[in-house]
Structure 1
């Protein structure tokens, strides 16, 4: 019997400047902050999941003996995350981003239905807000 994966619990992106990331994800996008761990990470609620923003310079360090045994991890380069946004809210999000000076890189309707908007966070990560129906959900 194969175990059932119920969904994605957390998504991680990486940013060297956590202050800029915190201002963007908490201020511009309006996500609820769970916690911040110095210059290592800042975590946010995002619907039923969690968005983790890590400083890769810190997460590649081995854990201290008194900390949780999370193995070193990280990535180089820009990542991508897509946020689930209802069709009625995508235009409002696009306007909110534009008002904050965030450029919309792409805005289109998928052939199978559903709209997506693409933009970048201060670290250069590619972000998308999309209707769930782009994946038939």
Structure 2
């Protein structure tokens, strides 16, 4: 008998890593419009993306450390160095609005192009150097 893989509901959280959480907070809150809802200074700041979707931004220097033996939440150590990638879905007819919004805030647009299927993506960098994409969901449709 072959056991089937249990189903998943979707992506609940995604993580990026940044050494400067204050700069990350300012960027994700003030430029990208995401609201922080939880933070621990020097360790992490969490942002609500949608009702059941969260962006976690961790300081890898803090999260690479294993939890203490008496930790209330014994999350295993994790962390990454170097630029990661995070993509936000944006309605196709709002991508020009985003381009103007970013340009007005002196955020450099690294790339703005159409995929072979005609869907568009805009790429930029957050203060930690992570590659941030704003994309028409049709890139996968």
Shared fold per TM-score greater than 0.5? yes
How big is the shift at 1:98?
0.8
Distance 1:39 1:71 in 2: 17
**Aligned position for 2:53:** 49
Bigger CA radius of gyration:
2
Secondary structure in structure 2 of the residue aligned to 1:21: helix
1:8 to 2:11 alignment: yes
Distance 2:98 2:9 in 1: 28
**Aligned position for 1:26:** 29
Distance 2:72 2:90 in 1: 36
Moved over 2 A (4+): none
Secondary structure in structure 2 of the residue aligned to 1:68: coil
Matches within 5 A, 1:1-137: 1-47=4-50, 48-64=52-68, 65-136=70-141
Stretches of structure 1 that go unaligned for 5 or more consecutive residues are: none
Question: C-alpha deviations, 1:57-77, integer Å up to 9, x for none?
Answer: 000111132330100100111
Q: TM-score, normalised by structure 1?
A: 0.95
Q: Over the residues paired in the alignment, what is the CA RMSD in angstroms?
A: 1.0
Q: TM-score, normalised by structure 2?
A: 0.92
Distance 2:88 2:27 in 1: 15
Distance 2:72 2:80 in 1: 21
Residue correspondences, number: 136
